[in-house]
Amino acid sequence: MPTASDILNIARGELGYTESPQGSNKTKYGRWFGLDGNPWCMMYVQWCCAQAGVALPMRTASCGALMRAAQAAGSWVTGDYRPGDVVIYDFPGGAATDHTGIVESVTASGIIAIEGNTGAGNDANGGQVQRRTRSNSLIVGAFRPDFEEEEEVVTYEKLANVPEKFRPIIDKLMTAGIIQGDGSDPTGNGDVINLTHEQVRTLVFIYRGGGFDRKLEAVGLETAV
């Protein structure tokens, strides 16, 4: 079963793609779908989902049809949007369902989405795959695919966040310059290191196996905690 990351990796790989010739609505997504030369925002989404193995409730080039199919399937949401959701927009002055995109991340007031057939001059028929920031007020709702749940990655931003049993070793490796932070706190332990739990465990394992002995001894540090 695919994850949200799978479809987002596909979608990001298409950023910057432009219809050719400009204004023609001719794209590889339209050729794949069988409706080349027509507005292609939904065909882009359908293509991304197909590449990632994400099941949609309907094969369609219509935003309204996908919305109704998702509602009938019980996979339609109208809030608490998440990465990987297929959002449907209602822009002022247009139809009830104007455009679609794939949620990449959530903001305080809306979302950031990757969309096909959009652009600064025309939100719903702009001719390019772009990353767009959208307000919640523009979102009608979203189809939520049945993704496999991804394992949460635990990250320690600073030394103080590292578990106490590992902290002395990580501190020593930072002092020796083996681990370097972002330089935001060069005289203390407040540097941002952003080490994952697995990275910390690997560093501790290497340390305990003597892998850093020469470097530690070179700066006058003992090789045992």
pLDDT in tens, 101-137: 999 999 999 999 999 999 988 999 999 999 999 999 9
**Structure confidence at residue 172 (pLDDT):** 85
Q: Using the predicted structure, report yes or no on whether residue 10 has a pLDDT greater than 70.
A: yes
pLDDT of res. 93: 86
pLDDT tier, 199 (very low <50, low <70, confident <90, very high otherwise): confident
Percent pLDDT > 70 in the chain is 93
Q: Which residues, listed in sequence order, are joined to residue 143 by a DSSP beta bridge?
A: 76, 86
pLDDT at 189: 62
Residue 224 binned pLDDT confidence (cut-offs 50, 70, 90): low
Q: What is the DSSP letter of 153?
A: P
| Number of Cβ within a 10 Å radius of residue 133 | 11
Contact between 112 and 132 (Cβ < 8 Å): yes
Residue 116's identity, in one-letter code, is G
225 vs 102 pLDDT, higher one: 102
Query: Tell me, what's the pLDDT at 210?
Result: 81
Determine the pLDDT at residue 196.
Answer: 85
Residue 200 carries which side chain, given as an amino acid letter?
Answer: V
**Predicted confidence (pLDDT) per residue in 164-184, tens digit:** 999 888 888 888 888 877 667
| C-alpha–C-alpha distance, residues 156 and 107, integer Å | 22
